[in-house]
Structure 1
Amino acid sequence: MSDHWLHCFEGAPQRTLEEGETLFRRDDSVDWAFLVREGRISLRRALRDGALLTLHTTNAGDLVAEASLFAERYHCDAVTEIATTVSMIPKAKLVAHLENVASSDRLSIKAFERTAREVQSLRTRIEIMRRRKVADRLDAYLELFGYPQEGEWVRVADWIGVSPPALYRELARRRLHGANKT
Structure 2
Amino acid sequence: MSGWQKIFDDAPTKAFAQGAVVFRREDPVNAMYLVRSGEIALERPLRDGTALTLNIAIVGMALAEASFFAKTYHCDAIARTNAEIATMPRAAFRSALLERPDAALSLIETHAREVQSLRARIEILRLRRVSDRLEAWLDLNGEPPKGEWIRVADQIGISPPALYRELARRRK
Shorter-chain-normalised TM-score: which range? 0.5 to 0.7
Q: Which runs of 5+ in 1 are unaligned?
A: 131-182
| Deviation of 1:99 (Å) | 2.5
User: Matched residue of 2:98: which SS?
Assistant: helix
Please give the alpha-carbon distance, in whole angstroms, between the structure 1 residues aligned to 2:43 and 2:72: 14
Q: Aligned equivalents of 2:32 and 2:10: distance in 1?
A: 14
Q: Which residue of 1 aligns with 2:73?
A: 74
Supply the distance in 2 between the matched residues of 1:55 and 1:4 (Cα, whole angstroms): 25
How far the C-alpha of 1:8 sits from its partner, in A, is: 1.5
Question: Are residues 82 and 105 of structure 1, via their aligned partners in 2, closer, same or farther at CA, if it must alter by over 3 Å?
Answer: closer
Residue of structure 2 in register with 1:94 after alignment: 93
Q: Look up the match of 1:47.
A: 46
- For 1:5, what is the secondary structure of its paired residue? helix
Say which SS state the counterpart of residue 29 (structure 1) adopts: coil
Question: For this pair of structures, how many residues does the alignment match?
Answer: 118
In 1, Cα distance between the equivalents of 2:36 and 2:93?
16
Deviation at 1:105, TM superposition (A): 8.5
Shift of 1:26: 0.3
Identical columns (%): 41
Larger radius of gyration: 1
Superposition TM-score, scaled by structure 2 size: 0.59
Residues 35 and 83, structure 2, Cα contact 8 Å, conserved in 1:
yes
Indicate if the aligned counterparts of 2:16 and 2:83 stay in contact, CA closer than 8 A: yes
**In structure 2, what is the Cα distance between the partners aligned to 1:25 and 1:57?**
15
What stretches of structure 1 move > 6 A for 4+ residues in a row? none
The residue type equivalent to 1:98 in the other structure is: L
Question: Aligned equivalents of 1:3 and 1:65: distance in 2?
Answer: 19
Query: RMSD of aligned C-alpha atoms?
Result: 3.0
Alignment of 1:28-177 (within 5 A): 28-102=27-101, 112=108, 119=115
Query: CA offsets per residue over residues 11-45 of structure 1, 9 Å max, x none?
Result: 21111010000000000011111111010000000
Q: Distance in 2 between matches of 1:49 and 1:3?
A: 41
- Partner-residue secondary structure (3-state), 2:44: strand
CA distance in 2, matches of 1:85, 1:45: 22
1:62 deviation in Å?
Answer: 0.6
**Aligned partners of 1:40, 1:80: CA distance in 2, in Å?**
6
Structure 1 counterpart of 2:42, one-letter code: L
CA deviation vs aligned residue, 1:75-99 (integer Å, no higher than 9, x gap)? 0000000000011111111112222
